[in-house]
Every structure is written in C-alpha cells, then in structure tokens.
Chains A and B, each alone.
Chain A
Amino acid sequence: MNLNPAIPRDLLLSLLPELVLTGWALVLLLFVAWRHRTVWDLRIAGWLTLLALVSTAVAIWWLWWNRAGVRGVVSMIAADDFRWVADWVFVGAAALTVLISFTYLERERLLAPEYHVLLLLGTLGMMLMAAGADLIVIFLALELMSVAVYVLAGFDRRRARSAEAALKYFLLGAFASGFLLYGIALVYGATGTTNLVLIGARLSIAMRASAMLLAGLALLIVGFGFKIAAVPFHMWAPDVYDGAPTPVTAFMATGVKAAAFAALFRVMYQAFAAVPAWHDIMWWLAVITMIGGNLFALGQRSLKRMLAYSSVAHAGYLLVAVTAGGVAGTSAFLVYIVAYTLMSLGAFAVLIAKGRAGESDVTIDDLSGLAARRPWLAFALAVCMLSLLGFPGTAGFIGKWYILIAATSAGQNTLAAILVLTSVVSAGYYLPVIMAMYMKPEPIEAAHVDVCLDRWGRAAVAAVVVGLLLFGVWPNRLFDLARAAGDSVHAGGTTTAAP
C-alpha cells in the first residue's frame, strides 16, 4: 500500500496509529476530568490506557501487514518498517510501565489519573519522533515527549527529590532543546530545507560540507546527546532517574532513550549520510559513554542510581551501533533496544516491589536473602541482571553480539574491543545484586515481608522474563523484522518484511 501524503485520506492513514492514540488520550482526559478521586478511578484509567495502547499496537500492525509506505514522495512523515518496529517498542515500554505503575501509585498515594494521560501523550511524542521525516516534526515531537516526561518526573510533588528531578530535567532539557533548534536553523541555512530526504539529496551533490552545516550538525548531536544521556551530556541522568517516581524512571530509561535513538538514526542516515564528519564524533561519544557509564556505575550502592548509570552505559553500546551504521548497525540497534527495554523495565519492576512507601533508596544489601523468601522475584531480577550483563542465553547477549558483528563488519574493531571490555567491567555491579539475593542470608528476620507486587506487576515481570529468555534462544523472527526495518531506513523503503 503506497501512501501519498498529499492526499488527505493517505495522510490520515499514514498517521493512523498516532491518531488512534491521540483519540484515546482525549477520551481518557475527559474521563479523568469526570472521575479522579478514588483508587478505583485510577485503576479504570490504567485499564483504559492499556486498551489505548493495545488498539494503537493493532493499528501499527495493520499498517505493517498491509506494507504501508510513503515511497518516492517528499513528505513530513515517513512510513517504513523502521517506524513500525520502533513504535512497537514505545508502545510496549508504555504498556509495561502502566502495568508496574498500579502498585506504585497506590502505595505512594499518587491518586491522580492524569498520570496515564501524560504517559499516553509522551508515547505519542515518541511515535512521532520515529515517524518524523522532517526536522520540524522531529523537534515538535521531541518537545511533546519531553514536556510530558518533565511533568511525570515531578509527579510526586510531596517529595522534594521528585520536584528537584523535574526542575533539573526541565531546565537542562530546555537548554538542550535550544541547541537542537539552533542546529536545525543552521542546517536549514546551509541546505535550504528541513526535510531529511531533501537534505540528504542536496548534500550528496555538494562538493564539501560548509562551515554552517558542520556547526548545525554539531549542535544537533549535542541536542540528541542530551536526550540519550551520552557521557559529556549525562550529568542530569543520575539525579533525575533517582528522584523521579520509579515507573517514570523506567519509562525514561527505555522509551525516551529509544525514541531519541530512533530519531538520531533517521536524521544521521537519511540526511547526513554524505557527511563523514559526524562518524568521529559518534566514535568518541560511544567510547567515553561506555567507559564513563560503567565506571560510575561501579561505585553506586543504591540500586536505582546503579540502574541510572547502567542506562548511560547502555547508551554507549547503542552508540556503537550508530557508529557502525549501515543496515547491520540499524538492525542491531533495534534488536538491542527491544532487549534493553525488556530487561530494564523488569529490573525497575522488581525495584518497585522491594521499595517501601515514601522511601525509595533500595541498596544492593537490602536485597540480601531475597531468593529464599521470594524465589520467583529473585529469579526475575537475576535474569534481568544477567541480560543487562550480556550473559549467553538471554536477549541481552543476542543484542550485544549483533552490535559486535555490525561493528566488526564496519571495520570498527577498537570499538568492539572496548564494548567487550566494558561489558566485563559491568559484571562488577550486576553480579553483586545476584550474589546478595542468592548467597547472603536475610539481615533480619522477615526483612522481605513487605515485598509486594500486584497481579498486574507480576504479569509485567513474567512477560519480561519470558521475552528475555525467548529472544535469548530464538531471536530469528526478531532478526528478520529488524533487518527489514534497517533496510527500509537505508534503501529509502524499497524492501519490506514479508508479514
């Protein structure tokens, strides 16, 4: 099904998942205005959110099944396999976040169902970021996502740390948006267009990149570097991840990062493929992000802060995929982001179960003896930790292996070596969690009595563990999907996966 966005019907069709999600967000907003007092209102809002996400996923699936694509026309919106796969990741991350939010919101007495509205609007921003084929669309979508997440980070207004996290994220995020916007302006000044495909076409016939273009490109990288929390721009990440409510942290670490990377891939490979200058910048960013993220994580005692730094380190691994580039790099990114979203959300879900009301600092020692008392929960966290480490048999291993293949086949052997070495370092902070759970005794009698996860949270954790183990031993279908998606970004949408 070839769509021409100049025709209104085709434009609506190409935006179908976003329209479905917007419609649901508005319905939910009306519902919330009507019922917003009791625990049950919150629960119903959560179920409606899940329904919204499921129907959005069906809309994405329908477009993918019909091989919808915008081909051969210049458009604001891209429709290709890359977008559908990225959308599924965002919708999945949002759905898992909703599932693990039920316990948390009720325990922390955050009885404001607007939480779910903002979650849906943030997801909408992410989907538009992956869909944007024009720098203006990408910028507005990034702002839409960011504004929703700024508020979510400060949702627990009674806690000073949540407010601090929101303010820090907002101020630095606004600053980073300024960089991004200025970069877009300079790129427009250098090429005369904001459309990614047209920029790519004009740069491929230009003899050499002008100073204005390079300055714009550098500013764009700063703007994206902030959102993905790459190392020189990561300063906000630990404090914000630590202070935000835990489900929101999980959403930020997975969805926001995935969306920023998806937009980064599209911008770099559709618009600036002909400019080699950014490869060196990405190379260095990847190296210092991997080394910095892993070294900082080693020193953390708080589990949430450790996961925050670990998310910085994983941004480094993903930057290796960006540097490697090509179809292999793009599909490696998609495989890894699926694995990373699952394992990260699983780890945060267990953290929510262990956390007590009003107190968020769960240290690694607090987990001592969890395996004896709650064997399944400990098993789930162990699988997530092993997957984050890249242990064979889990999806994390498959993802890292795929990135390594992409890097070595692109001739980036140094980068691949650093990835392996820093992964070994990361064992220094992932394994103590497993050791504490399985090898240390309970510090006091009944230390884990108050560990609780409702059935929705349990469903989310079970889905994560099954997903991680399934993709760890049988990744073929995911590989096919990711490869078709990688093709669609680089070849301008000439190939699609056979559904």
Chain B
Amino acid sequence: MTLTVFWIFGVIAMGSGLLCITRKNPIASALWLVVTLFALAALFVLLDAQFIAVLQVLVYAGAIMVLFLFVIMLLNLGRPGPTDIKGPLGLLGATVLAGALLLLLRPLGQAPLPAEIQLPPGTVAALQQQRGMVGAVATPLFDTYLVPFEIASVLLLTAIVGAVVLAKRKL
C-alpha cells in the first residue's frame, strides 16, 4: 500500500517537474511546479513527517508560489519565450546525455544504506507520540542544529539587505 502510494506520487512529482522545465509559458511552468510541490508534500506524509508536509503546502505551494506568479506578472513574462533546446540535433544530444546520466546513476539505487539512517518502523511515530508533531522537528532544530539555524537567520538578513540595495530607486 505505502509503496503504491509512493510510486504514484513519485511519478507525479517527476512528471510535473519535467513539465515545469519544458513548458514555454512561464505561468504554465509555475503551475506545474505547484503540482510538484504538492506531490512532495504527499511524500513527506509517507515518511511520517506530517508537520513538514503541512509546511511544504503552506509555505512553498502557497506563499512562495504566489510570489513567483506576482513576479511573472510584474515582469510581464506571460508570453512564451524562445525554447532553450536548439533544433532536433540539440534534442537528440540532450536525450543521449540524459540517458547516459541515468545509466551512471543506476548504481545509486543498489547502494546499501548505512544503519544510521535506517530507522526501525514506528520510530518516528513513537517520537511524535512523545513530543508531538512540532516537537519532533523543533527539538533538533534548536538543539543539534542550533548553529546552522542561526547562520540561516543571518543569511536571510543578508538577502534582505542585498535585495533592498539592488532594488532601491536611488542609491
């Protein structure tokens, strides 16, 4: 059952991701990206990470996508642009290279996973029973990963300062 659901959403995520980068119309691309993000949220639920799944829908599929569409509208990008793939020869080359990459990546699926990341079934569920949905995310965030968390906040501040500097009307 879980595996079937995984395959369904995995294929949806891959397919819509592919459509997102091949559509000529930026709005169509953005909407396919929404589908990808929803499929990813479903995959998070399969991993017992419901809180992350909700955040994925709220933040990415919701807020960030609205921002994407705003930018597309403001820049008046609604018209389809020229395609990046030049002619049938380019398409052939891209297909051959993609095939070669897939062939090279095949051993990845056969590699055994280390014991550290193979949790016995029910571990995450037990953790959530103990600390709640949010606690299971919050505890590592503010404990083990405190330093990266703080660096991320400085990173966001830098991005804000940078955006203001670049977008200010008068320097």
Which residues of chain A have a CB within 8 Å of any CB of chain B? Answer: 11, 15, 22, 29, 76-77, 110-112, 114, 117-118, 121, 124-125, 128, 134, 136-137, 140-141, 143-144, 147-148, 150-151, 154-155, 157, 166, 186, 188-193, 202, 210-213, 215
Contact = CB atoms under 8 A, between A and B. Distances in A.
B126 interface: no
B107 interface: yes
Q: SS class of chain A's interface: helix, strand, loop or mixed? A: helix
Contacts of B107: 211-212
B165 interface: yes
A243 to B, nearest CB: 15
Given A111-B171, A121-B154, A15 B114 contact: no
A151 B165 contact: yes
Nearest to A151: B162
Contact of B117 (A112, A134, A189): A189
Contacts of A151: 161-162, 165-166
Contact of B147 (A15, A22, A125, A212): A15
Interface in B126-171: 145-148, 151-152, 154-155, 157-159, 161-162, 164-166, 168, 171
Given A112-B165, A124-B154, A140 B148 contact: yes
A124 B151 CA distance: 10
Given A136-B145, A190-B111, A192-B114, A121 B161 contact: yes
B40 to A, nearest CB: 14
B74 interface: no
A215 B106 CA distance: 11
Contacts of A144: 151, 154-155, 158
A121 B171 contact: no
A228 to B, nearest CB: 21
B1 interface: no
Contact of B110 (A111, A211, A213): A211
**Of listed A134, A154, A210, residue having the most chain B CB within 10 A:** A210
Chain B: interface secondary structure?
helix
Nearest to A109: B171
Closest 8 CB pairs of A and B: A192-B116, A151-B162, A211-B107, A192-B114, A212-B111, A210-B111, A140-B151, A76-B147
A211 B162 contact: no
A148 B116 contact: no
Contacts of A186: 108
Nearest to A8: B146
Contacts of B100: none
B148 A137 contact: yes
Given A125-B158, A190-B111, A192-B116, 11 more contacts: A114-B161, A118-B162, A137-B147, A137-B148, A144-B155, A147-B155, A157-B166, A166-B166, A186-B108, A189-B113, A193-B116
A118 B147 contact: no
B158 A137 contact: no
A195 to B, nearest CB: 10
Interface in B77-108: 104-105, 107-108
A42 to B, nearest CB: 11
9 contacts: A112-B165, A121-B158, A124-B154, A137-B151, A141-B151, A151-B162, A192-B114, A192-B117, A211-B110
Interface residues of B, number: 30
A143 B155 contact: yes
B75 interface: no
B104 to A, nearest CB: 8
A157 B116 contact: no
A294 B105 CA distance: 35
Nearest to A163: B166
A446 to B, nearest CB: 32
Nearest to B157: A121
Given A76-B147, A137-B151, A114 B165 contact: yes
B120 interface: no
B171 to A, nearest CB: 5
B3 interface: no
Contacts of A210: 111-112
Contacts of B113: 189, 192
B108 A211 contact: yes
A299 B62 CA distance: 51
A212 B106 CA distance: 10
B72 to A, nearest CB: 17
A92 to B, nearest CB: 21
A453 to B, nearest CB: 24
A59 B147 CA distance: 19
Given A117-B161, A210-B112, A157 B148 contact: no
Nearest to B116: A192
Contacts of B157: 121
A140 B145 CA distance: 12
Nearest to A122: B158
A134 B146 CA distance: 12
A191 B157 CA distance: 33
A192 B154 CA distance: 27
Contacts of A124: 154
B170 to A, nearest CB: 9
